[in-house]
Every structure is written in structure tokens, then in C-alpha cells.
Chain A
Amino acid sequence: MNIQTKYHGELTIEETDIIQFENGIPGFLNEQEFIILPLTEDGIYFVMQSVRTPQLAFVITNPFIFYKDYDFTVEDVIVKQLGIESITDVKVFNILTLQEPFEESTVNLQAPIIINTKNNQAKQVILNNESYKTKHPLFIESPDSIKG
């Protein structure tokens, strides 16, 4: 199928490319289908593009590149909901809130996007861990300072 995107023009995608969020994500409960597209050549930044709404796209990243000690538990009920059978099937992305200047952009460590790459089921999970907030600086001196 062909879709219009925010940053990538018109694209042809397959059903198998589509990541399914059964209940959408907070703030966008009706947005259940997204695809993940690369944004930069270094493989650090990606875009999570809505299939149905061309103007809706999030810049996302692998959080462990910026916070190597980022660590959380995915509750059993979520493992079940996403049909996760092995940790190696799981991909984690976090949403960035871009700022001007770019150096002031932040990453939402409190609500990671968990994807089961085997069945493309995904969910944005809200963590109960108090160390993680919605706005962590993307660029800091020490990757160990994980305080909101």
C-alpha cells in the first residue's frame, strides 16, 4: 500500500512493515498503526510514522545509546499482551521531544515503546520507576546521571 509521510514523502509499504498498537498510545488512542523508518544514516535516529495520519510522526531512538544503564522490568501482563516469547525478539525505542537548539532535545525514558519484532505487536509502557521521567536531556556529560 502507498502512504504519505511527514518526512519521507510517499512510500510503498507492506502489511508486514506495520507495527500494531492495539490501544494506540496515550494522547493518540486512535492511532494503532505505525511504521518505523530510518531518519539518519548513522542508525541512531528513526521516525515512528503513523500509517493513517501523514502529519503524525515521532522521532525515536534506541535509548541505550544515550543512557547505557537504562534498565526496567516489563511486567508479565505486558509480555503476555504482546505475545513475547524471547527477550531477543524485543526492541525498545523512546520518543524524543525535539527542541530548538537541537542540543536541548529530550528523551522520554518514563514511557518506552516496546515492540515484539516477531509479531509486530507494540505498546508504549508507562514505567513506575521513579528515576525515569518524561524529559531527560539527550546530551549530557555523564550517561550515568539518570535523574529527571
Chain B
Amino acid sequence: MLILARRKGEAIQIGNEIEIKILSIQGDQVKIGIEAPKTVEVYRKEIYEQIQEENKQAATSSMNVLDFIKKSQK
């Protein structure tokens, strides 16, 4: 992981099209501005991780499918 220290008002450039800017720092909260092409999706990390995790759980649920079909017809 690349680690950089930034002050309020400073920024980071990623590739040619993405900029991360530190807008304000208040207590333990940092406000971060992100400039990126709309084709680059930006998420709070915990949201992205939740989706990943849910997909993985859904892929491994090993319920007997014939059972599933029978029960769903109830």
C-alpha cells in the first residue's frame, strides 16, 4: 500500500483522471473530495465489502436444491 501524508487542502493524483482531495479535517473525520470519470465507481469501502461478502455467501449456500424447489412450492 502506498502511504502518503496530506494536509487539509492537499490532493493526490491517481493516473491521469482521478484526483483525491482532502477538503477538511474535523476531529477524527476527514472530508475527502473525489474527482473521477463517471465510469470509475467509487464506494465507501464497507459498502463494497458488504456486497462482496453477500455474493460470496450466496454462492456457497449449499442448500439442497430439490429441497428448495419443493419448499418454495408450498
Q: How many A residues are at the interface, by size bracket?
A: 20 to 34
The one of B54, B59, B65 that contacts A111, using a Cβ cutoff of 8 Å: B54
Judge whether A134 and B68 touch: CB under 8 Å: no
Determine the main DSSP class of A at the interface with B. loop
Q: A126-B43, A134-B50 are known contacts. Are A98 and B63 too (CB-CB below 8 A)?
A: yes
Judge whether B59 and A28 touch: CB under 8 Å: yes
Residues of A within 8 A of B (CB): 7, 25-28, 39-40, 42, 44-45, 56-59, 75-77, 81, 95-103, 108, 110-111, 124, 126, 134-135
Query: Scoring B residues 14 to 47 as 1 if CB is less than 8 Å from chain A, else 0, what string do you get?
Result: 0000000000000000000000001101010001
Judge whether A99 and B59 touch: CB under 8 Å: no
Judge whether B61 and A97 touch: CB under 8 Å: yes
B contact residues around A101 at 8 Å (CB)? 71
